[in-house]
Amino acid sequence: MPKWRKVLALTLALASAAPLGMTGYVQKASAATGSFTVLSYNIGGLPALLSSSSDPQKFTPLIGAKLGPYDLVNVQEDFNYHASLYANDNHPHRTPTSGGAGIGSGLNTLSNYPLNDLKRVTWNKRYGLFDNGSDELTPKGFTYSQIQMSAGVYIDVYNLHADANTDTLSNEARRDNLSQLATYIEAHSQGHAVLVFGDTNTRYTRSEDNLKSLFVDRLGMKDAWIEKVRGGSYPTMGADALLGVPGSTSADNEVVDKIFYRSGAALSLEANSYQVEDTYFTDENGAQLSDHYGIAANFTYSTSAAVSYSDLAGGSGGNGFNFLHSNAPATSAPLSVTLRGASRLDSIAMTYVNGTTISIGGSGGTTSTLTLDSGETIASALVYTNTYNNSVRIFYLELTTSKGRKIASGTKSGTATTFTAPAGSSIAGFFGRAADNIDKLGVIYKRL
């Protein structure tokens, strides 16, 4: 049994009113709380002749059979024995393989929650052929998915495997890898809670690595090991590597596998525990199933009582957007809304009483604007989705105010979805995906 389960039971019993267990969910007034556990594990699934794992063909199915206790799993080096990993696992949602070594990235996610909008991104820079980490032999990079854990609870999840080795060009490539990922998170995960966990191939003590400056200082993320084991204290850059006792969960044992997290505007994340799984992923003789140790963390989440999300309608095209990247939807009130479209919905813009204007989408179609009266709010949104160029997009949006006035754009075509503000709330913004058109759309509710 993983050690974290014993730690979790004690932690939650003392510190949380949420039910014990893997996926607790409690509704309190207009806010919700719950818990979940994540695992990051480089499973060493390269072909046997290339793998650092002693016997990946034998060990991969054993790993698959042990993944069940974790709600959300990111694996790396899931290459040539992928079928046996999934054959022995029962997670209901799993990313499809991108191929074996030399073809795929080796990155996959297994989840108890739906995995939406999967994106696979290859690093811009890779270095190494055989004697320098072999990073140019397969398209390593990162993946993005958005999970919806329950009503209104969204988390953007990233899996990564950065360039290995510590020669000058490998260090340069790895710094570029992490910068590329940080830039992507800034562009695609604005306002959302974020989890980033995988094999970073970095150490805080290395002066050549830029892990803290990017993920902590720039993105405002936390490291579960730093928070739960080191009391928030980061190792000194340039100091001796913290090698400690291999496999131990201790302040003096830093592994290159990391778990980062960040709260969002409508969802708070808090790490409850962190554990290096040094005894769980072993065979009947106690041998490790990979050349890496799995690392696990348990999290508690809580939603905001002030702002919340609806469900989403639409497809996976475009880039992620979220009006809650600005504090206007939470702290101000909509003054006017502008829609632009023709055969489909092209853009949405909302101006707030505090003077902020947020817009998303392209410049096609014609424009219509509705200015709200004093005390008037947006009460509901009618959305139609249909397919264009093999991609599901938003074809029509109609907003209705508390006074029954309407504004609409696009064409009623396809499947209709209605979002209605709960009693005591109004629609104060939008989130979803967009490029030249609006690809996916949900609404942001704000308590009056």
Are residue 297 and residue 317 in the same domain, yes or no? no
Q: In which region does residue 402 sit, left (phi positive, over 0), alpha (psi from -120 to 50) or beta (all else)?
A: alpha
Coil, strand or helix at 162: coil
pLDDT at residue 130, as a whole number = 60
The model's confidence at residue 136, banded by pLDDT at 50, 70 and 90, is confident
Range of the structural domain that residue 255 is part of: 3-303
Q: Report the alpha-carbon distance of residue 323 to residue 302 in Å, rounded.
A: 20
Are residue 271 and residue 359 in the same domain, yes or no? no
Give the H or E element holding residue 58.
helix 56-65
Are residue 152 and residue 278 in the same domain, yes or no? yes
Coil, strand or helix at 11: helix
Q: Report the alpha-carbon distance of residue 436 to residue 362 in Å, rounded.
A: 4
Are residue 68 and residue 126 in the same domain, yes or no? yes
Within 8 A by CB and 6+ apart from 44, the residues are: 51, 52, 53, 56, 59, 77, 290, 291, 292
Are residue 59 and residue 203 in the same domain, yes or no? yes
In degrees and rounded to multiples of 5, residue 418 shows phi and psi of -115, 130
Measuring CA to CA, which residue among 165, 246, 252 is closest to residue 202?
165
Which segments of 88-214 does DSSP mark as H helices, in order?
Answer: 168-188, 211
Give the mean pLDDT of 182-205.
Answer: 97
In order of 105, 189, 276, 292, the CA distances from 295 in angstroms are 20, 24, 5, 9
Q: Which of 243, 268, 303 is the last residue of a domain?
A: 303
pLDDT above 70: residue 392: yes
Q: Work out whether strand 294-303 and strand 267-277 pair parallel, antiparallel, or are unpaired.
A: antiparallel
Average pLDDT value for the chain: 92
Are residue 283 and residue 414 in the same domain, yes or no? no
Any idea what the CATH number is for the domain that residue 174 is in?
3.60.10.10
Q: Report the alpha-carbon distance of residue 127 to residue 176 in Å, rounded.
A: 11
Q: Which of 303, 336, 362 is the last residue of a domain?
A: 303
Are residue 299 and residue 312 in the same domain, yes or no? no
Count of positions (residues) in the chain: 448
Q: Read off the pLDDT of residues 33-62 as tens digits, 9 standing for 90 and up.
A: 999 999 999 999 988 656 556 789 999 999
In order of 387, 392, 393, 397, the CA distances from 414 in angstroms are 8, 10, 10, 12
Are residue 312 and residue 287 in the same domain, yes or no? no
State the Cα angle at 80 between 93 and 170, rounded to 5°: 100
Are residue 291 and residue 440 in the same domain, yes or no? no
Are residue 295 and residue 318 in the same domain, yes or no? no
Q: Which of 303, 338, 368 is the last residue of a domain?
A: 303
Query: Encoding tokens for residue 382?
Result: 């009618």
Are residue 72 and residue 189 in the same domain, yes or no? yes
pLDDT at residue 1, as a whole number = 67
Any idea what the CATH number is for the domain that residue 354 is in?
2.100.10.30
Q: Read off the pLDDT of residues 245-255 as tens digits, 9 standing for 90 and up.
A: 999 999 999 99
Are residue 207 and residue 339 in the same domain, yes or no? no
